[in-house]
A and B are shown apart, each in its own frame.
Chain A
Amino acid sequence: MLAFISRSIIQKIITLFFVSVVSFLIIHLAPGKPSQVDPLNPKFTPEVVERFRKEFHLDKPLHVQYLYFYRDLFTGQTVSWKDNQSVLNKIWERFLNSLPLFIVGTILTWTLSFPIGIRSAIFRGHIYDRSTTFFSYLMISIPGFFFAYILIIFVVTRFHVPVIGMETFGLGDAPIPHVLMDRIWHLLLPSILGATGGIAVLSRYVRSQMLEVEGQEYIRTAKAKGLPPELVHYKHALRNALLPFVTMFGLILPGLIGGSVIIESIFSWPGMGRMAYEAILARDYPVILTVNFVSAVLVLVGTFISDILYLVVDPRIRL
């Protein structure tokens, strides 16, 4: 066990190093320049551009820039080129904004998918199964942004309530319950949008896993010995169908930092995804690379956690 953990950690650190090198190179190879050093920017004279280049170490060779960047990152000194604010602080602030969306979306997805998927597995081929299949594929194939706009237009024109942003604008002096409820209201649409996509995909997996398990002989045995159907499906079958979801659960962790670029942009939600997207547009290398690095770390941590969870869930696995 210990041997597995230490081996895995060493492997992951090596992976991380390669990820950092490759992402650094890709970003510097990408066309376009940060606006501060773009010679086409009319706001700056060549001298100013030169000064910025020096300040950002852009005049140094790539490997030196690489070292500078990761030195700053590990000592927590990286600053955004756009506004000179500490990148880690910025990410933390945005992370807190994205967190409620993530939590609500995840809870909805990882609860509702199971009853929906299991039921359609049980009634395979029936009208219920067919309609959930239809709606799942509908939700998967409609682009998220389109669905988001339709939903926004419907809610706003029907109920005349603000839905965009994290809170109603100008609600500054309102009493605390109002502010709190207002925030909860603004969570509704984006988290439902996030969840519907997730449920559509996840319930498909649940269905196919359950179908596989339901055909097993021990399920027939359980049914034959007269157990109530619910107990059969939700205890005997579900437990054995859960295994692949352990992997998937490990992988939702990076979603924390990736956030949802599209939904956050449409709803003007000042979250992580939108920050990363705007940083890419502005070629704000420190922000892009830090987000990239943190999400790489989270992916690796996620896979590590799911490896450990396997041990817990499936006693047959011994590492």
Chain B
Amino acid sequence: MTVRRVLILVPTLLLLILLQSYFWVPTYEQQTRGNPNRLNEYIAGSIGDAGLLNPILSADSASSDIESMVFEGLIDRDEELRFRGRLVTSWEIYEEAFFFINESAKIPGLGVSDPQTVVDFIKKAQKTETIDIPNLQDTLANIVSIQVLPPHEFSITRKVQDPKDKSENTTIEINVAAPAEIKLTLKHVDQNLFENLAQLLGKDYFNSFSGTKYLSFHPQVETKKMDTYAREIIPATKHNPILLFHLRPNVKFHDGHVFDAYDVKFTYESIINPKNLSPRIADYEPVKDVEVLDPQTVKIVYKRLYSPAIGTWSIGILPEHLLNSLALKKEAHHHGVDAGTFTMRQSSFNRNPIGCGPFKFNQWKSDQYIALDRFDDYWEGPPNYNRYVYRIIPDLLTQEMEFYAGTIDSYNVQPHQVGRLSTDPRFQNFSGTSFGYTYIGYNMRREPFDDIRIRKALSMAIDVDKIIDYVLYGQGERITGPFIKQTDYYNHNIQPIAYDPKGALKLLAKAGWNRNRAGWLEKNGKKFQFTLITNSGNDLRKAILAVAQDAWKKIGIDVRTDLLEWSVFIQERVDKADFDALILGWQMGIEPDLFQIWHSSQTNPYQLNFVGFKNEEADDLIVKIRQEYNHDKQVRYCHQLHEIIAGQQPYTFLYVGKWTSILDKRIVIKEIDSNGHLYYQKIKPTLTGSYSFHFNKWIKLPEAPHFMDEG
């Protein structure tokens, strides 16, 4: 009967056609099936799409992933996190320091002196070899040249808001008759220069300098304000650190244009141009001036000592010829829009970027992928891969499936999968600790958290190892302080606080808290009770909330918990410091600058030291760290600071998370040795765990190779 046969045959045939197609599709094992080029391309997966592909404007991680391929910075960090030249071959860091002649201070052995006498005096001291004042000799030896700047006059205007009527601005004209100034050029940056010189020129030589008398105001202002202006306009002493970059010659942008010093200057100017609304602007605020000495040399002068500034030059350099005001005007004209409101933000460059990185931009399909092609003229030699594709796959399970199928080359493993996937023989796996940590912070303005014994006891009562084992599936490490664990700033001598509920009770008893009949801790008839909060939507923090509550309950503390929606949590509780204790995490950069999070001046509402940590010694170290240009000294200060913070326990430092990534085993490093022989090498992560450091040398082989050291 035909009807029946048709009804059964048609779907069967259809299914057979569908099923046989399996033999045509590339599988994980045979990724080249029908597509031999697959070995020459690397496909990465990402949860989110990029925003703007412009290193000075973008703020999301997807954009910076692409930018790191398309653009190149002046410097970056090498395997051991030291700075390394990229677009520069070398650089020098030195300093110009200035101080005004103090016309009223007496110099020991000289009395009140004119500028030339002071210069001669310092020069003479330099030659005297037997100065037994500590540090002074080093400081003097560091001075390369001394110069007198004659007195000069200038006038400036300042706009001041009228305190009564806020909309009124009054303009104050300030005439300055600056006294003679002495300029010292130093070999190395020296934050103790004036401190040490004061031992030579008299203890109060710099302190007693008052600039007020050299200023005249029109209209007149209060004396208090005058002092503020004087300190700002003619400060007694001034440090101007200088970065001198020698650029790499013959580096080309993707369009063939040769890179030079004007591109560096242009990138800087674009960042500080308020019209561009660059999120990076704060990093460049300390820059006083960027000067092009010649097309291969840039001199960057800073307003003050600020060592984290060096790292900011890893920013991708923009091509001036494509984005300067003339080019933007042309583009605005082309689109028929008003050139006055047309800024770099509107430029089509952001979807079609050109830099001097190893890969050049090819195509961007929103929410699907971004494709980059190899740049054959890359200064360090072109990468091995022909193509780099950045796929946008918002769903993690889909990412995982695509990885198993060979259509993504790497996958970031979820903590609960690590046990299974890191032993899978088909993949190579890498893991490391992330740049950040999770903590419980205590509001030190409130009782009883102002007592260090209480904070210590609370830390002792929590079994962090259990949290790591059960909440993080073992994918975490203990941390004892505020620095990144892989850097040498982190003080490894400090031991984490051990789990010791009995010891915690003893400490609490010392602080006056004893258990009552019901088992709750009590002091003067008041129960130990507080609320621990965190933001909702983060399952890890939610789990820690429960663990901490339970651990503290066990020693008799009545802890309430609360989960708040992120914006409410930040705006209402954290920013206003309205909390007892909270669970949060910090993501950090490599620079050890802790000013915003730990300095006592940052404890006001809306600032990041919301736990209210105040410690003079720590403040001093924090400032010293950001002013120190010598790595070893910086490390020493950091270790001291780490010790202080760990001792004070303003946070219970919980853990730093571990990440694991898996990669197709056929991906290896391909290199050519000095004899011209090709050889392959296994991908080895750097000290910090970064496995993609040598990405440009990667290539995929048709078969997974066996290396000698694997046995």
Contact B398 A164 (CB under 8 A): yes
A225 in the interface (beta carbon within 8 A): no
Is there contact, CB below 8 Å, between B1 and A182? Answer: no
Residues of B contacting A1 with CB < 8 Å? Answer: none
Q: Which residues of B contact A152 (CB under 8 A)?
A: 401
The residue that B407 contacts in the complex, of A111, A169, A228, A230, with Cβ under 8 A, is: A169
Please give, as numbers and ranges, the residues of chain B lying within 8 Å of A115 by CB-CB distance: 4, 7-8
Please provide the chain B residues from 372 to 403 with a CB less than 8 Å away from any CB of chain A in the complex.
Answer: 389, 391, 393, 395, 397-398, 401-402
* CB nearest to B393 among chain A residues: A268
Tell me if A185 and B22 are in contact (CB < 8 A). yes
Determine if A171 is an interface residue (Cβ-Cβ < 8 Å).
yes
Contact B398 A268 (CB under 8 A): yes
Q: A182-B25, A230-B4 given as contacts; is B398 within 8 A of A107 (CB)?
A: no
Bits for B205-219, please: 1 = Cβ < 8 Å to A, else 0: 000000000000000
Taking a contact as CB atoms under 8 Å apart, the answer to whether A171 and B11 are in contact is no
Instruction: Answer whether residue B695 sits at the interface, using C-beta atoms and an 8 A cutoff.
Output: no
Judge if B35 is at the interface, Cβ distance under 8 Å: yes
Q: Mark B523-560, 1 if CB is under 8 A from A, else 0.
A: 00000000000000000000000000000000000000
How many chain A residues sit at the interface, stated as a range, is: 35 or more
B229 adjacent to chain A (CB < 8 Å): no
Indicate if A178 sits at the interface (CB-CB under 8 A).
yes
Which A-chain residue is minimally distant from B394 (CB atoms)?
A268
Task: Give every chain A residue within 8 A of B408 (Cβ-Cβ).
Answer: 169
B34: Cβ under 8 A from any A Cβ: yes
Q: Smallest Cβ distance from B619 to chain A, in angstroms?
A: 34
Of chain B, the residue at the smallest CB distance from A185 is B21
Tell me how far the C-beta of B199 lies from the nearest C-beta in chain A, rounded to whole angstroms: 53
Q: A160-B27, A160-B405, A234-B4 are in contact. Are A184 and B34 (CB under 8 A)?
A: no
A97 interfacial contact with B, CB 8 Å: no
A178's contact among B10, B35, B405, B406, by CB below 8 Å, is which?
A: B35
**B38 within 8 A of partner (CB):** yes
What are the interface flags for A143-156 relative to B under an 8 Å C-beta threshold, 1 for contact and 0 otherwise? 00000010011001
Residues of chain A within 8 A (CB-CB) of B25 are 161-162, 168, 181-182, 185
Minimal Cβ-Cβ distance residue in B for A158: B404
Tell me the complex Cα distance, A114–B7, Å.
7
> How far, in angstroms, from A174 to B43 measured CA to CA in the complex?
17
Interface residues contributed by chain B, number (CB under 8 Å):
44
* CB pair B1 A156 closer than 8 Å: no
A311 contacts B by Cβ under 8 Å: no
C-alpha gap A169/B35 in the complex (Å): 11
Q: Which of A169, A174, A235 contacts B34 (CB 8 A)?
A: A174
Given the complex, which residues of A lie within 8 Å of B406, measured CB to CB? 160, 162
Q: In the assembled complex, which residues on chain B have CB atoms less than 8 Å from the CB atom of A13? A: none
For residue A19, give the distance in angstroms from its CB to the closest CB of chain B: 31
* B22 touching A159, Cβ below 8 Å: yes
B29 at interface, CB cutoff 8 A: yes
| Given contact pairs A107-B14, A164-B401, A169-B391, A175 touches B407 in the complex (Cβ within 8 A) | no
Does A171 lie within 8 Å of B26, measured CB to CB?
Answer: yes
- Residues on A with beta carbons closer than 8 Å to the beta carbon of B19: 188
Question: Is A226 an interface residue when CB atoms closer than 8 A count as contact?
Answer: no
- Mark contacts of B30-69 with chain A using CB atoms, 8 A cut-off: 1 yes-contact digit, 0 otherwise: 0001110110010100000000000000000000000000
Contact A163 B405 (CB under 8 A): yes
Contact between chains at B18 and A104 (CB < 8 Å): yes
Which residues of chain A are within 8 angstroms of B37 by Cβ–Cβ distance?
173
Chain B CB within 8 A of A290 CB? no
B15 contacts the other chain (Cβ, under 8 Å)? yes
Is A177 on the interface with B (CB-CB < 8 A)? yes
What's the minimum C-beta distance from A265 to chain B, rounded to whole angstroms? 9
With known contacts A115-B4, A234-B3, A169–B22 Cβ distance under 8 A: no
A16 CB within 8 Å of chain B: no
Closest CB in chain B relative to A166 CB, distance in Å: 11
Determine whether A157 belongs to the interface, using a CB cutoff of 8 Å to chain B.
yes
A193 at the interface (CB under 8 A from B): no
Name the CB-closest residue of B to A230. Answer: B1
Most chain B CB neighbours (cut-off 10 Å) among A112, A161, A188: A161
Given A160-B29, A168-B25, is A184 in contact with B405 using a C-beta cutoff of 8 Å?
no
| Contact in complex: A159, B7 (CB < 8 Å) | no
Which residue of chain A lies nearest to B28 when distances are taken between CB atoms in the complex? A160
**A256 CB-CB contact with B under 8 Å:** no
Q: Verify A162–B407 contact, CB threshold 8 A.
A: yes
Rounded to whole Å, the gap between the CB of A127 and the closest CB of chain B is 20
Q: Which residues of B contact A231 (CB under 8 A)?
A: 1
Q: Specify which chain A residues have a CB less than 8 angstroms from the CB of B3 in the assembled complex.
A: 234-235, 238
Quick check: is A288 within 8 A (CB to CB) of the other chain? Answer: no
| Alpha-carbon gap, A169 to B393, bound state (A) | 12
Q: Chain A's nearest CB lies how many Å from the CB of B575?
A: 16
B24 interface residue per 8 A CB criterion: yes
The yes or no answer to B708 lying at the interface (CB within 8 A) is no
Query: Is B17 an interface position by the 8 A CB rule?
Result: yes
Q: How far is the CB of A187 from chain B (nearest CB, A)?
A: 6
Whether a CB of chain B sits under 8 angstroms from the CB of A260 is no
Q: Which residue in chain B gives the minimum CB-CB distance to A160?
A: B28
Kindly list chain A residues whose C-beta atoms are within 8 Å of the C-beta of B14.
Answer: 104, 107-108
**Which residues in A have their C-beta under 8 angstroms from that of B17?**
184
Of B35, B41, B389, B405, which contacts A161 at CB under 8 A? B405
Compute how far the CA of A179 lies from the CA of B34 in the bound complex, rounded to whole angstroms: 8
Which residues of the partner chain A approach B4 to less than 8 Å between Cβ atoms? 115, 230, 234
What would be 18 A-B contacts, judged by CB atoms less than 8 Å apart? A108-B11, A115-B7, A152-B401, A153-B401, A160-B405, A161-B22, A161-B28, A164-B402, A168-B26, A170-B38, A170-B407, A173-B35, A178-B35, A182-B25, A184-B18, A191-B18, A231-B1, A268-B393
Closest 9 CB pairs of A and B: A178-B34, A181-B24, A160-B28, A162-B405, A185-B21, A184-B21, A174-B34, A230-B1, A181-B21
Interface residues of B (CB under 8 A from A): 1, 3-4, 6-8, 10-11, 14-15, 17-19, 21-29, 33-35, 37-38, 41, 43, 366, 369, 389, 391, 393, 395, 397-398, 401-402, 404-408
> Chain A residues in contact with chain B, CB under 8 A?
83, 104, 107-108, 111-112, 114-115, 149, 152-153, 156-157, 159-164, 168-171, 173-175, 177-179, 181-182, 184-185, 187-188, 191-192, 228, 230-231, 234-235, 238, 268
